[in-house]
Amino acid sequence: MKKPFIRASGLASPKQQHNWDWRAASNFIAGGAGGGLLLCAALAGLDDFATRAAILLALILIGSGLTCVWFEIGRPWRAMNVYRHFSSSWMTREAVVALTVFAAGGLAMLTGASMLVVLAGILGLGFLYSQARILAANKGIPAWRHPASVPLMVATGLTEGAGFLACVAAFTAAGPGAAVLLGLLVLIAARAWFWKSYQNGLIADGAPDAALRVLNALGPRLLLIGHVLPALAVIAALAGMPGRAALALTAGILTVAGGWVLKYTLVRRAAYTQGLSLQHLPVRGKGPAGPAAKPGWTIVHEANKV
């Protein structure tokens, strides 16, 4: 069978990575939300039952994410090797922090001690930050390695945590208080700002055209579903409209959904490799070399030239 002809530009262009599939994405999706929920639960000052329920949900989310990534490993029973590189690997640091998260979170859920709840919240933030640094450490993926990806991942994890907390509070007798709703509204606005900053940073510093197209297509949907609609629901609840609990539940669900779509898109669909760049295009025979070229990129930036 004759092999298909592949142009050199096709070989040099950025390719979508397939090493991290939906299971790896699920760790960032569920684990980040769980870490954010632990911190939000520690700061919210809800009643004992709601706080314990939020901690339990957070631990389930973190455990589910880690289980998904464990199944992604080619040889799952070698997972203990992840603990061997604490000084150099953010994945190792995530795994170490996860152990302390489950220890502190489990004790906080069982005892209800306020100091343990606060400790679990701080460790949840550490887990969330470690995840953000794991993504940024992958230097071969321009959409991940950009410095703005770290605050974006932290911001969306905290926002999702606040969304889950609003959902938990909606099912309590007292319902979601003004502090929970205001916190959610502030975090929604913060995530929208970090998302815009991340997009602008990629455009200014350069990224593969395919990655930019994916992220730009996500923008309007994320703005509507993840930011505008939940913010309006929160404002309506704060304004005293009937159905405060239902409005908070709706806002929480939309906030979490927007964040999860954002992270899945970033980890799976916008994850294009660097590709190759040429300082000069080669010529056949005699003659001057052609201009610099970087297939799949709109502009060749000096910092990105090989």
pLDDT for position 275 = 72
pLDDT for position 293 = 59
**Alpha helix segments (H runs only) across the chain:** 8-12, 22-26, 32-44, 48-72, 90-111, 114-136, 142-145, 149-170, 178-205, 209-221, 229-238, 244-264
pLDDT for position 230 = 97
pLDDT for position 283 = 63
pLDDT for position 305 = 42
pLDDT for position 295 = 67
Where are the domain boundaries for CATH 1.20.1630.10 in the chain? 19-274
pLDDT for position 277 = 62
pLDDT for position 286 = 66
pLDDT for position 178 = 92
What is the model's pTM? 0.88
pLDDT for position 301 = 46
pLDDT for position 89 = 84
Q: Give per-residue burial for 148-181: e unless 16+ CB within 10 Å, then b.
A: bbbbbbbbbbbbbbbbbbbbbbbeeeeebbeebb
**CATH number of the structural domain 19-274:** 1.20.1630.10
* Residue 198 phi, psi (nearest 5): -65, -45
Report yes or no: 104 and 123 within 8 Å, Cβ to Cβ.
yes
pLDDT for position 241 = 92
Report residues of the chain scoring pLDDT below 70. 1-12, 74-81, 83, 85, 276-293, 295, 299-306
